[in-house]
Amino acid sequence: MTTQQGAVPASRTLWWGTYPAAGLGTQPGLGEGLWKGSGGAPEQLLALPAPSFVVAHPDLALLYAVTEADPSIVHAIDVSDPAAPVVAASLVTGGNAGCHLLLAPDALTLYVSHYMSGDVGVVELLPDGLFAADAPAQMLGHEGSGARPDRQEAPHAHSAGFAPGGKHLLVADLGTDELRRYRIHPGGSLVGDGIAATLAPGSGPRHFAVRGNLIYVVCELDHQLRTLRWDSASASADVIAEVDSTNAPHRTGDEVNDGHLAVVGDVLLVSVRGADVISVFDLSPEGEARYRGCFDVGFWPRYFAVIDEELWVGEERGHQVRRYDLADVLSLGPEAAVGEVTQIAHQTYPVTSPACVVATSR
């Protein structure tokens, strides 16, 4: 079923940001950095401290990578020669543990979410893709805590995305169980605008995806997938449904931690670490998420991405990445028994502690 260490399809280049081999906060210099996969086995081309999130410029041969460290640093990486990427510029964000990047549609603003310091940085970019200044234009913080003192002692901004309509930036705060709301001004600057949604105590919202006027939120701590309906008049969202993120049992690690999600047409995919699966949900015309089943994706699937009709999954603790044909994933049958974990044919490639992946055309 599985082909080990096959050749990466050569139609585009994949770039993986990775953690140190033994995990975040451990000894550096053991494989963390920027890895490239294109037409052969992936290889590490840049050594960087824990670049756990990477995004690509839509028009230029540039990547942006944020190091999940204290202080965090955003790097602009020139990949015009895919065989020899070069750090073109670096900017200290002023926050601690940057874990997510969001690029504005006009590619002139980069939003940086910081997990430990709980704030969001606004980094202005020039038309050439490099930083407009040597520091963020804004750092917006927040106060609060949650029901779990071990994980929610303070705000933890885990990711940011655009609300339906694109007029607001929403930040998933795992520490305060909130979607924080910021109005977007011309030029990409932000103005704090309160809370768009408050979720159940101890839920720990991590990532979200938007489809029409609905927002799907995966919650890391209570393992629920929540559906929220956005109201443009009040710029707020209400929870209209919630469902377990998977029926699969806990299989590895000390606990279950939900991970990432993505909408693919009328299907929603959700990764769950510990259960080590991706769950498949069918989305009704009204937006209801109906659990269909799940499939095995290896040890600790932190992040995944759909790229060119393929699904790529990073096994953070398995030290490899998996490639699935998207058609095989979308045709997964319903679970025959509650908690069944299906196996789907895939290929694997060795990568040290993969945390995030993006693609660029060759």
- CA-based end-to-end distance of the chain: 29
- Judged on CB neighbours under 10 Å (0-12, 13-18, 19+), 288 is middle
- Strand locations in 19-80, DSSP E? 33-37, 43-47, 51-56, 62-67, 73-78
Beta bridge partners of 7: none
Regions of the chain short of the pLDDT cut 50: 3
pLDDT of residue 24: 72
pLDDT of residue 38: 78
Let me know the angle formed at the C-alpha of 166 by 161 and 172, rounded to the nearest 5 degrees: 25
**Cβ partners under 8 Å of residue 149, min gap 6:** none
**Can you list the domains of the chain with their CATH numbers?**
92-361 (2.130.10.10)
Q: For residue 71, is the peptide bond before it cis, meaning its omega torsion is within 30 degrees of 0?
A: yes
CB atoms within 10 A of CB 343: 9
Helices H, strands E: what count in the chain? 1, 29
pLDDT of residue 330: 98
Distance, CA of 133 to CA of 206 (rounded, Å)? 30
Helices (H), 116-229: none
Contact 168, 88 (CB under 8 A): no
Per-residue pLDDT tens digits for 101-126: 999 999 999 999 999 999 999 999 99
CB atoms within 10 A of CB 299: 17
Residue 147 identity: A
pLDDT of residue 3: 46
**Cβ partners under 8 Å of residue 53, min gap 6:** 17, 65, 66, 68, 98, 99, 100, 101, 355, 356
